[in-house]
Chains A and B, each alone.
Chain A
Amino acid sequence: MASQQPQASQQRLALGKALEELATRLSEHLKGVATKVEADKRSMVINIEVDRSRILEAAKILSSLGFDHVKSLTGVDYPDKGVIELMVHIGSYSRGLRRIMAILRSKLDRKDPRAPTLTQIWPSSEFQEREAWEMFGIVFEGHPDLRRLLLPEEFEGLWPGRKDFEIPTRKAGEAEEPWK
């Protein structure tokens, strides 16, 4: 076991290096489109931040580079900043890229969150966009079939995924006290 430990850490170092190289290569491809390209060695992901208007452009470039499917598409609500962040985990089934994931992030206006649909580029995002719409109210322009996925038909109240949504039996932001 002792001999395997340094080997594993060496492997991790090499992987981290490969990830950084890929991040620099990606930032060259996404020059002018992405505002920030950053490698996260801990999670083996590359964070790509883009402006709302450049989402489609960035998605097209990523798709042409071999990222072929969406693993997760969702929103993260930041009420104090007034934004909802669109967070898309993108992966690849090809041998060269399967080890890493890219996270495409874009800040949307919380009052009227709109984003272009990614279904034309990644059909795998169809159902996930429906979920992001019903939970966070993100309108995906051009989505072929934007309706509720998980919520029941008779559900009332808007955007249960957001932070200020009040569960009838509990006030917004109120949590159980862990030490009781």
Chain B
Amino acid sequence: MVASSIAIEEISKELIQTRDLGVTEEGERLVELQIGPTHPGSGHMRIRVWVDGDIIVRCDPDIGFVFRTIEKLSENRIYMKTIPLVERPSLLDTTPMTIGYINALEKLMGIEPPPRAKYLRTILAELTRIASHLYGIGILAIFLGHSTGFMWGFGDRELFVELANQLSGARITYAYVVPGGVRRDMPQSFPDNVEKALRYMERRLKDWYKIFLNNPVIEDRLREVGVLRKNDAVKLGITGPNLRASGVDFDVRVADPYEAYDELDFMVPVAEEGDAYARTLVRFEEIKQSINIIRDALKKMPSGDIIHPQIARMFNPLMKKIYEETRRVKFPGIFASLKPPKGEATARVEAGRGEALFHIVSDGSPRPYRFRWTTPSYRNVILFKYMIPGHRLADLPAIYGSLDYFPPEADR
């Protein structure tokens, strides 16, 4: 015992923090816990926490378990094949990601989609935003042991997944956004179905508030837990609803409008408290705003083409026939060797979890020379290191759930 205590004195405080087996101030051993990577709730990441009693003194997020090397893969693929590639990591809101990639590509090519395509893209992006928030809230609910919220979240999400299916022909991975437009026009029954779903969701949100947000147990678990102050949020470069819950009014849809967002009527919900409850509240309010956006977009939907005329001109007679009869775009074979001019382009979008940035370096060949992509979860993962220490171990799931962190999206 004596020998070990001398050894401990020789270790500087800084080193204790970086050693696997540290000690507390009273001379007791810190316990290192490994949460994940196969934890049923934590998804595909490992969180290493060092606890003193049940207070977390250090937290080290270990990510990369679902690292798919998308940036490297895209260097070996033609531009069109990267469209489904960027959808894979962020399965819950795939459309914003494809919009970002396509926007960067369109900037390189110097084309802009027709207005109707912009509106269709916006509607699908908002549908997936609602679905993504419902998923996040469902996961938070099951973390807190509120299994009704989990079932409701996933059940209500089904509606929006089904609507996306009607519009794009796929439930999750749409690949709906293509250079110069979208793949297909909306079916005639679509606006009515959307209106039905939106009305249901508005009714349902009142129940959600009753059973989840105003539930005293949920309030106790979330209020004043995981407080992120405005200054820290800005300093750490946090993004999305997590940023807005800390009182920073920043949303790419307003700050740097893309697609049809500058013509649509909506608000950006902001909360001041910065705790887990505020983050959840902001997500609920964003669902309401997404409902407004979809309604407004359907009302203002312009008629006309859904693909850029420059691309439509390359259609062969059969493609033209399909396009005119069924309003579906078949891509000309020349896109297999699509060569955007030399240069660089940057685009950013507001995905469900925050800002995603896309940067393409083109050298004039059919494949991107370098494709850089940062996702909101990737930028938010730093919070695990700086926000969690000081909390009780039992608060970890609540904070994790309130961040709506999605490991595959962070790893890319």
Contacts and interface: CB of A to CB of B under 8 A. Distances in A.
Given A87-B359, A150-B411, A175 B237 contact: no
Given A42-B345, A71-B379, A89 B256 contact: no
Nearest to B335: A178
Interface stretch (B71-79, B149-157, B199-207, B396-404): B71-79
B67 A151 contact: yes
A124 B379 contact: yes
Interface stretch (A20-28, A52-60, A97-105, A108-116): A97-105
Contacts of B64: 148-152
A44 B256 CA distance: 9
Interface string A106-130: 0000000000000000111111100
A156 interface: no
Interface residues of B, number: 49
A160 B256 contact: no
B115 interface: yes
A175 B255 contact: no
Interface stretch (B20-28, B280-288, B364-372): B364-372
Chain A: interface size category: 35 or more
A76 B237 contact: no
Interface string B60-85: 00011001010110011110010000
Interface in A40-77: 40, 42-45, 68-72, 74, 76-77
B249 to A, nearest CB: 8
Given A45-B346, A87-B372, A179-B336, A70 B237 contact: yes
A45 B367 CA distance: 23
Q: Top 4 nearest A-B pairs by Cβ distance?
A: A124-B237, A69-B237, A150-B64, A43-B346
Interface of A: 1, 4, 8, 40, 42-45, 68-72, 74, 76-77, 87, 89, 93, 95, 98-99, 101, 103, 122-128, 148-152, 160-161, 170, 174-176, 178-179
